[in-house]
Amino acid sequence: MSLRQFSLALVASIAVLSGCASGSLPPAPQKAASAGYRYQIGPGDQLEISVWRNPELSAKVPVRPDGKITTPLIEDLQAVGKNPADLAREIEARLAKYIRDPSVTVLVTSFVGNATEQIRVVGQATRPAALPYRQNMTLLDVMITVGGITEFAAGNRAVLIRQAENNKQYSVRLKDLLKGGDVSANVEVVPGDVIMIPEGMF
């Protein structure tokens, strides 16, 4: 599915949500199964590659839109979809042709990530956005980043779509969380979650 098709599908879903309550959906679980999470590099990420005792081979490189990187002595190495540790081992294998026992560290210094690594917030958020996921991220963290909900939002009819569970839908209580300070409405999010906030009926 293209980004445009996904966006159109979300708009249609928000329209449906605006006209019906999400009370029939189960509440989102407070704890999410995110143990063992390992970040996967995405297009647009910035990487810092350090080669021990070989500073001339170390570099700061962007991940190109085609998902590849180029470093000294290595051209067009696929980075997207790999975690930093696995990419470091692959760089070591490539550099072993030129230097003895290379030791490489890869750090992601600026995160964009694949869509599967992002939390997307659409609808009546103050600043709808796609956010890079970070370990132990919660719904409150997400809403602070997007500036909360608009005055027109039906916050307690918001829906969380969990792509990691075959797009299972959960109800989330954003109004209770943000306006009422109800911490029981805060839940953990996982990579790929989409939070849809419908407009209230006036």
Of 110, 132, 147, which residue sits at a domain end? 110
pLDDT at 22: 54
pLDDT at 113: 78
Range of the domain at 66: 46-110
Q: Are 74 and 94 in contact (CB under 8 A)?
A: yes
Within the chain, residue ranges assigned H as helices are 3-18, 84-95, 139-145, 174-178
pLDDT at 15: 47
Q: Work out whether strand 194-197 and strand 118-123 pair parallel, antiparallel, or are unpaired.
A: parallel
Q: In this structure, are 130 and 189 located in the same domain?
A: yes
Q: In this structure, are 50 and 92 located in the same domain?
A: yes
Within a domain: 155:
yes
Query: Which portions of the chain are predicted below pLDDT 70?
Result: 1-23, 33-35, 202
Q: In this structure, are 103 and 149 located in the same domain?
A: no
pLDDT at 39: 86
- In angstroms, the Cα distances linking 121 to 29, 103, 139, 172, 174 are 18, 40, 10, 13, 12
- Domain containing 164 — which CATH number? 3.10.560.10
The amino acid occupying position 183 is V
Within a domain: 202:
no
**pLDDT tens digit string along 6-59?**
444 454 554 444 444 456 899 998 887 655 778 899 999 999 999 999 999 999
Cα-based angle 37, 123, 139 (whole degrees, multiple of 5)? 35
- Domain containing 90 — which CATH number? 3.30.1950.10
Q: In this structure, are 83 and 148 located in the same domain?
A: no
